[in-house]
Structure 1
Amino acid sequence: MDKLRALDAFAALSQPTRLDAFCLLIKAGDVGISAGDISDSLGVRQNTMSSNLTVLTRSGLIRNKREGRSIRYFADMDGLRGLLVFLMEDCCGGRSDRCQPIINELACDR
Structure 2
Amino acid sequence: MNTAQAVQALRALAHDHRLAAYRSLVQAGPSGMAVGELRDQLDLAAATLTAHLNQLRAAGLVTNEREGRVIRIRADYDRMNGLIGFLTKNCCGGTSCAPTAKKKLR
TM-score w.r.t. structure 2 length? 0.89
1:2-34 CA-to-partner distances (Å, cap 9, x unmatched) read 111000110010011100000000110012101
Unaligned runs of 5+ in 2: 100-106
- Distance in 2 between the 1:65 and 1:43 partners? 22
Query: Is residue 2:56 matched to residue 1:56?
Result: yes
Query: Is residue 2:46 matched to residue 1:46?
Result: yes
When you count helix as a share of all residues, which structure comes out higher?
A: 1
Q: Equivalent residue for 1:72?
A: 72
Per-residue deviation, 1:82: 0.6
Per-residue deviation, 1:68: 1.3
Aligned positions, number = 99
Per-residue deviation, 1:100: 3.3
SS in 2 for 1:18: helix
Q: Give the share of equivalent positions with the same residue, in percent.
A: 40
Unaligned runs of 5+ in 1: 102-110
Q: Equivalent residue for 1:100?
A: 98
Please identify runs of 4+ aligned residues in structure 1 that moved more than 2 A.
Answer: none
